[in-house]
Amino acid sequence: MKRQPPLSRRTFIKLTATVAAGAALASCSPRQSPATPTDAASAGIKPTLPPSPTSGSVPAGTSPSTPDQANPTETSANPEPSATTSPAYLAVVHGPDPAAITRAAIEALGGMAAFVSAGYDVIIKPNICTDYHPPEYATTTNPTVVGTLVTMCLEAGARRVRVMDYPFGGTATSAYATSGIGDAVEAAGGEMHVMIPSKYKFVDIPQGRDITKVQIYPDILETDLLINVPIAKDHGSTRLTLGGKNLMGVILDRGMMHLNLDQRIADLTSLVRPPLTVIDAVRILTANGPTGGDLSDVRQLDTVIASRDVVAADAYATTLFGLTGSDIGYIQASADMGLGTMDLASINIQEINLG
């Protein structure tokens, strides 16, 4: 008197086959076309319509000295830096309160409402490179700057604000904790997101000059708004790590990037095209970066730089170190690709002092 098993072998195999076939079908059919920069741009940039110097295709090989810098001056109504009348192309704000200067910088660009519409899903990408040091060491982005941006996005009606990075030293969770960003973001109502290795996918870089494919975290390309929030600091191979370099946190294989770092960062920038870059220069690291660890290498500048143009923001930030944009290979390479301008004289810069 053998008990009949609840499922006969045949039924079991049939069921399994059906489910497998269903799964196979499902995984084939709704696959989206690989995200291209135009997708990313239309997803991220269109509603905000920045006075981009790069809209439209730029012929390859445009010389940096004669770029399409007519665009920014044309699009900004008033080329003179004036504090209130028109949105700035680039805002530089000084002041002792990181929250206040972050707010002022975004206001100068036209306010967060120019970037965030109701229901937006926002990603903020700070530099959380290691779990080694607290924020005073200027190795990771200032937590107050990040927290303030989270608050502003939510105030502007964002549905969700996620903050993420993929540290090279320590784990994401430990680095989120040490950097103080975890606490600041959660207090502001945002969420810290741990980037999931199995989610990365290969995406073509149509404009890429050296690399034409990269394994990238898809959320970065699919989000409604990406805010790139680097900290300005010293870096061995590129001299400075700023907005362009900060984007390396969204890809998996960084070893290969180093083989031709400057051009490859520019290629990556052409794919990601962050619609808003906010450079934290509350404290900057002047030597032994990007890892830091020596307080005597840290300088307190109480400054935040913001722009829709990552190249311009980076170029301005180099001046804090006594350099210019052309001193930094990836800024030059990005400008060469027409991803932005590093000619600071040609753009509307608003400098605000909150004393």
Partner 1 sequence: MSWKSWRRLRQAVQILSFISYIVLIFAVVQKRVAPALVDIFFRLDPFSALGAMLASRQWIAKFALALVTVGATLIIGRVWCGWICPLGSLLEWVSFKKARKRAMAISPHWRLVKYFLLATSLALALFGGLTLLVFDPIAIITRTLTTAILPGLFYAVNSVETVLYPVSFLSPALDGFEGVVRGTVIPVEQPAFSQNLAIAALFFGLIALNLLANRFWCRYLCPLGALLGLLSKVALFRPVIGTACTQCTRCAVVCKPGAIDTDPEDFHIMPSECTVCLDCMANCKPGDIRFRLRLKPAQIEEFDISRRQALGALASGAAGVLLLGTDLRLRQDNPWRIRPPGVPEEDTFLATCIRCSQCMKICPTTALQPALTQAGMAGLWTPLVVPRVGYCDYGCTACGQVCPSGAIPLLTLDKKRTMVIGKASIDRNRCLPWASGMQCIVCEEMCPTPQKAIRLEEAEVIDSSGRTSTVKRPSVLRDLCIGCGICEHYCPLEGDAAIRVYDA
Q: Which of residues 196-215 bind partner 1 (CB under 8 A)?
A: 196-199, 201
Concatenate the DSSP letters of all residues of 40-80 into one string. HHHHHTTTT----TT-S---TT--TTS-STHHHHHHSS--S
**C-beta of residue 232 within 8 angstroms of C-beta of residue 320:** yes
- For residue 102, state whether it binds partner 1 (rule: CB under 8 A): no
- For residue 21, state whether it binds partner 1 (rule: CB under 8 A): no
Among 16, 42, 173, 212, binds partner 1 (CB under 8 A): 173
**Pick 166 or 321: Cβ nearer partner 1:** 166
**Pick 243 or 292: Cβ nearer partner 1:** 292
| Tokens encoding 271 | 């794919």
- For residue 255, state whether it binds partner 1 (rule: CB under 8 A): yes
Minimum Å gap between C-beta 288 and partner 1 is 6
Distance (Å, whole) CA 355 – CA 337 = 38
Among 290, 325, 338, 340, binds partner 1 (CB under 8 A): 290
Distance (Å, whole) CA 64 – CA 230 = 24
**DSSP alpha helices (H): ranges in 132-171?**
143-155
Among 16, 18, 42, 171, binds partner 1 (CB under 8 A): 171
Angle (nearest 5°) at CA 165 between 185 and 349:
75
Q: How is residue 129 annotated by DSSP?
A: -
Using CB under 8 A as the binding criterion, the count of chain residues that bind partner 1 stands at: 45
Among 82, 294, 319, 354, binds partner 1 (CB under 8 A): 294
Q: Which of residues 314-333 bind partner 1 (CB under 8 A)?
A: none
Distance (Å, whole) CA 44 – CA 37 = 10
Beta bridge partners of 213: 204
Angle between helices 98-108 and 143-155 (to 10 degrees): 50
- For residue 12, state whether it binds partner 1 (rule: CB under 8 A): no
**Pick 171 or 319: Cβ nearer partner 1:** 171
Minimum Å gap between C-beta 287 and partner 1 is 9
Number of other residues whose CB lies within 10 A of the CB of residue 15 = 11
- Residue range at the interface with partner 1 (CB under 8 A); choices 19-27, 90-98, 116-124, 344-352: 19-27
- For residue 194, state whether it binds partner 1 (rule: CB under 8 A): yes
**Pick 47 or 293: Cβ nearer partner 1:** 293
27 φ/ψ angles, rounded to the nearest 5 degrees: -75, -15
Residue 298: burial class (beta carbons within 10 Å; 0-12, 13-18, 19+): buried
- Residue range at the interface with partner 1 (CB under 8 A); choices 36-44, 115-123, 283-291, 336-344: 283-291
- Give the chain's count of helices (H) and strands (E): 12, 12
Nearest to 340 by CA among 310, 316, 314: 310
- Residue range at the interface with partner 1 (CB under 8 A); choices 12-20, 106-114, 288-296, 302-310: 288-296
Which residues of this protein are in contact with partner 1, per CB under 8 A?
Answer: 23, 26-27, 30-32, 130-133, 168-175, 178, 191, 193-199, 201, 235-237, 254-256, 258-261, 288, 290-294, 297
